[in-house]
Amino acid sequence: MPYAITQTCCNDATCVKVCPVNCIHPTPDEPDFGTTEMLYIDPSTCIDCGACADACPVDAIFPVERLTAQLRPYAEVNAAYFADREPPQSDPTPNFHRWGPPVFHRNIPSDFAPLDVAVVGTGPAGMYAVEDLLLHTNCRVTLIDRLPVAGGLVRYGVAPDHPSTKKIGETFSRFHTHPRLRMRLGVEVGKDVTADELAAKHDAVIYAVGASAARSLGIPGEDLPGSVPATEVVAWYNGHPDVPADAIDLSAERVVVVGTGNVALDVARILTSDPKALAGTTISPAALAQLRSSKVREVVLLARRGPDAAAYTSPELLALTQRDDVDLVVDDHDPQIASTIDAAGPGEKAALLKGIQREAVDWSAPPRHGKRRIVLRFNSAPQEVLGDTQVRALRVTGDVEIAAGRVIRAVGYRGTALPGLPFDAETGTVPHEGGRVRPGTYVVGWIKRGPSGGIGANRTCAQETVGTLLDDAVAGRLAKRR
């Protein structure tokens, strides 16, 4: 009975480390690592030991025979990844995943003196850096966050109906009480303490401040009342202290979400969910109360490109197609959309939309009553948000007007400048080399590489940054504290 990895895979490769037969791929030392949407278990190699399931920080791994109806497709998803990966001719046995020779990327002297390191940010990037420093060095760490509660993206960015993903916060929080760690919450760099002051008190400072701002659409009318960034919606339903409890108005029957990334799907899913199903989650009580009286009947997911190139991951779309409380519809306005879906092969994103209802939607008419629904409209870019004092419609490719009372802009996140650090306004990141801004000052996570990659991508990102910091320390490049 092999195991299978399912929807909530975080890609941090904790499972890879504990597998005794190397059956989970891609591994961190393989070219595909970081490019696939999830990790996969080879059913022909798995020996049913369960070590990966015990180690998984987000409860994403189950025996195939115990998969629920919603997760059952993942047995084939895992197997399909290995379908075209045949055993080498020299080793025709099923267990063909060989272990490579051990590689040691760091060489720390035995007399390495303890460093005092400050880590700014308690989200995944910061916590992977903290984990590396505490488990693999003798460093003392001061963990700083501007908010009064730790957690960062895990607490305030993960959708409340993804409790398994939020569980990784438990893995991180165990380091909060480590004897070599001090926590300083409610401290904002640039306001309560300067970057120079932090540098003077520590041997090194790692900034893991993320990318919390929203990217702009750059179209007329996007700042009209009723047009809001998805970052604000996500913060609202997660109870972020920066966003008022009544920040999001749910009085419109139709909402257009510009974008089809995972955040856009999260927003669409929450706005169309039965509040009863959300009642036992970490959703903000104020947001839940508003959802109980919501008038939203239809959410439109607007994609510039076709169904073969949408930004969401296959696991997130697969979960959406299996909901029975919401109708999922593909707007059949362009013949190319249907042909792309019908021609899609196994494993392609567009193939997941086979069998999904297609309809030429009349956007001038109000949403129909009955079941709430989510409409995917591909090959359609936003041109202008229409309205005088309030959003009334969105004009898209082909001069089509989609009548809507709300527009949510889910086109990505962007980093913001931090006082005392250089900043590249074009990329929204802090310039660096291997995480080094300058000796003693480092970056990790989205402020380092831009808003790409999920939670697990921060592990390898943090390993690089911490490795660079240690190289600087060993080489004597760190300035003496004043």
CATH of the domain at 127: 3.40.50.720
- How many structural domains is the chain composed of? 3
Residue 40: predicted pLDDT = 96
The answer to whether residue 108 sits within a structural domain is no
Residue percentage of the chain with pLDDT more than 90: 88
Distance CA 121, CA 285 (A): 26
Tell whether the model's pLDDT for residue 91 goes beyond 60: no
Which residues fall within 8 angstroms of residue 408, CB to CB, at 6 or more apart? 227, 228, 229, 230, 233, 255, 256, 257, 258, 264, 267
Residues 321 and 355 in one domain: yes
CATH of the domain at 68: 3.30.70.20
Across the range 322-341, mean pLDDT stands at 95
137-156: pLDDT as tens digits = 999 999 999 999 999 999 99
Residues 313 and 334 in one domain: yes
| C-beta of residue 53 within 8 angstroms of C-beta of residue 1 | no
**Which conformational region is residue 463 in: left (phi greater than 0), alpha (psi within -120 to 50 degrees), or beta?**
alpha
228-282: pLDDT as tens digits = 999 999 999 999 999 999 999 999 999 999 999 999 999 999 999 999 999 999 9
C-alpha distance from residue 77 to each of 134, 314, 317, 423 (Å) = 36, 10, 13, 41
Residues 285 and 349 in one domain: yes
The region of weakest confidence among 11-20, 80-89, 406-415, 469-478 is: 80-89
- Quick one: pLDDT band at residue 93, thresholds 50, 70, 90? low
Residues 206 and 223 in one domain: no
Residues 244 and 301 in one domain: yes
The answer to whether residue 158 sits within a structural domain is yes
Bigger pLDDT: 95 or 392?
A: 392
Residues 44 and 184 in one domain: no
The answer to whether residue 97 sits within a structural domain is no
Residues 251 and 348 in one domain: yes
The answer to whether residue 48 sits within a structural domain is yes
Residues 364 and 265 in one domain: yes
Residue 12: predicted pLDDT = 93
100-111: pLDDT as tens digits = 777 777 888 888
| Helix/strand/coil (H/E/C) assignment for every residue in the chain | CCEEECCCCCCCCHHHHHCCCCCEECCCCCCCCCCCCCCEECCCCCCCCCHHHHHCCCCCEEEHHHCCCCCCHHHHHHHHHCCCCCCCCCCCCCCCCCCCCCCCCCCCCCCCCCCEEEEECCCHHHHHHHHHHHHHCCCEEEEEECCCCCCHHHHHCCCCCCHHHHCHHHHHHHHHHCCCEEEEECCCECCCECHHHHHHHCCEEEECCCCCEECCCCCCCCCCCCEEEHHHHHHHHCCCCCCCCCCCCCCCCEEEEECCCHHHHHHHHHHHCCHHHHCCCCCCHHHHHHHHCCCCCEEEEECCCCCCCCCCCHHHHHHHHCCCCCEEEEECCCHHHHHHHHHCCCCCHHHHHCCCEEECCCCCCCCCCCCCEEEEECCCCEEEEECCCCCCEEEECCCEEEECCEEEECCCEECCCCCCCCCECCCCECCCECCEEECCEEECCHHHHCCCCCCCHHHHHHHHHHHHHHHHHHCCCCCCCC
Across the range 122-142, mean pLDDT stands at 97
Instruction: Give residue 151's domain range.
Output: 116-212+415-474
Domain boundary, last residue among 81, 108, 125? 81
Residues 469 and 390 in one domain: no
Domain boundary, last residue among 38, 66, 81? 81
Residue percentage of the chain with pLDDT more than 70: 97
The two three-digit tokens of residue 97, written as one number: 């995943």
The two three-digit tokens of residue 55, written as one number: 């180690």
Bigger pLDDT: 30 or 226?
A: 226
Tell whether the model's pLDDT for residue 62 goes beyond 60: yes
Residue 100: predicted pLDDT = 74
Identity at 321, one-letter amino acid code = T
Across the range 305-316, mean pLDDT stands at 94
- Quick one: pLDDT band at residue 96, thresholds 50, 70, 90? low
Across the range 297-320, mean pLDDT stands at 95
374-433: pLDDT as tens digits = 999 999 999 999 999 999 999 999 999 999 999 999 999 999 999 999 999 999 999 999
Distance CA 16, CA 27 (A): 7
pTM listed for this prediction: 0.93
Residue 107: predicted pLDDT = 84
Residues 375 and 274 in one domain: yes
